[in-house]
Amino acid sequence: MNVALETVAGIDEAGRGPLAGPVVAAAVLLGPGQWIEGVRDSKQLSAPQRAVAAGRIRAEALEWALGEASREEIDELNILQATLLAMRRAFAGLLRAPGRVEIDGNRAPGLPGFPGVIETVVGGDRLRPAIAAASILAKVHRDAEMRRLHASYPSYGFDRHKGYPTVGHRAALAALGPCPAHRRSFAPVRAALRAAALSADPLPDGKSPA
């Protein structure tokens, strides 16, 4: 990895809270003082605004890369460690090492071999242009992933809630049980699995519940 001095890489994630799907991270490399028009915290933008901003980021950033951790990795590692893994994968996708890395939140992934400064910034997606850009790319990519999951499992409404525990999602989970995209290590999914197992258990007289 070549070193690009006086540049900054922002890293952010999307998808820690949902009950289904991967967690996605993005790394965006910006030049000194660079700011891309329309870029701010992804949560402050509508979906069409995010799409426009994402196109600008891809065109104007020095570099950008994505990384993700699968549902299986989330269940194996836990959501925090899977998030840090996705961040490491995104950073590894950059061809140039920045002079500085800014990471949203208060936990930084280990970046083996990186010699520069690593700074965690709580609320960084509102405060730092590179982190804001990363938040947009991560959100846009993950939303697209959830729309693809919706095509496979249309009864859950992943295209609408993107896996977050909305009332409608919880109702579908209770009625249908988890699908392969659901995170087994999350409490509402575990509860739905237990309920499904109980409903499938035979009654003492050998009859199955209605």
Closest CA to 176 of 160, 157, 159: 157
Domains of the chain, earliest start first: 2-152 (3.30.420.10), 154-200 (no CATH)
What would the pLDDT profile of 171-202 be if each residue is shown by its tens digit? 999 999 999 999 999 999 999 999 888 876 54
d(CA 116, CA 20): 35
d(CA 51, CA 45): 9
What distance lies between CA 118 and its chain's CA centroid? 20
What would the pLDDT profile of 96-124 be if each residue is shown by its tens digit? 999 999 999 999 999 988 989 999 999 99
Q: What is the pTM of this model?
A: 0.90
d(CA 100, CA 118): 6
Helices and strands per DSSP (H, E), number in the chain: 8, 5
Residues in the chain: 210
Question: Higher confidence at residue 24 or residue 205?
Answer: 24
What distance lies between CA 16 and its chain's CA centroid? 6
Longest alpha-carbon distance in the chain: 74
